[in-house]
Amino acid sequence: MSDPHPELPPAASPTTNERAAIPPATPDTRLVAALVLGAAVWADGQPSPTLRRRALHAARLFRDGHVTHIIGCGGLGKNPPSEASVIAGICRQAGIPEAAIRQEAHSMRTLENIAYARPILQEIGTHQVCIVTDGYHLPRARLIARRLGLSCMDAPPVPPGPLTARKLKTMLREAFAYLWYLLRAPSAP
């Protein structure tokens, strides 16, 4: 039988991305929610490759039984629509049922993504999340989530292509942002 959603990337494995390795889902290991952190929406309303990769990875986690809900996070950036609504649209196109998709569409930064998703997590009855964002962003996202009382597991999508100057710049920026969060210990907005 062929895959009805061939656009979904394969789940990461230890050989493709050690942090993305997730054990097979069982009733004891399944998490309730994938928290998909936002990224840019382009001028034509289309997702950036980063946003698409994260949303499709969350859809794969749902389809493989690792999570029962997907929460798209991210408000309106430079271009409409909100990052959360684009994540939701990608997940719907990937065959995820509407009832499993939630949106946090007001946040503008990582701290807000996670803090503003907490009421949704309370509504669905969990404080355990699978954070879906790129590997370089995970340490800071995990730090924030834990400081906000969430239990979290990392689930980055497989990184695309080789390391470029732009990716290196993004990684360095993220390292400084992590240190700032670590030292300043911001609280929920």
Q: DSSP readout, 31-81?
A: EEEEEE----B-TTSPBPHHHHHHHHHHHHHHHTTSEEEEEEE----SSSS
> What CATH number is given to the structural domain containing 60?
3.40.50.620
Q: Domain count of the chain?
A: 1
Q: What is the DSSP letter of 109?
A: S
Tell me which residue range forms the domain holding 123.
25-184
- Residue showing tokens 């790129």: 134
- Along the 189 residues of the chain, how does pLDDT read in single tens digits? 444 443 444 444 322 333 344 555 555 556 789 999 999 999 999 999 999 999 999 999 999 999 999 999 999 999 999 999 999 999 999 999 999 999 999 999 999 999 999 999 999 999 999 999 999 999 999 999 999 999 999 899 987 777 788 778 888 888 888 888 888 865 666
* 143 CB-near residues (< 8 Å, 6+ apart): 178, 181, 182
> At 152, which helix (H) or strand (E)?
strand 151-154
Within a domain: 39: yes
Query: SS3 for 182?
Result: helix
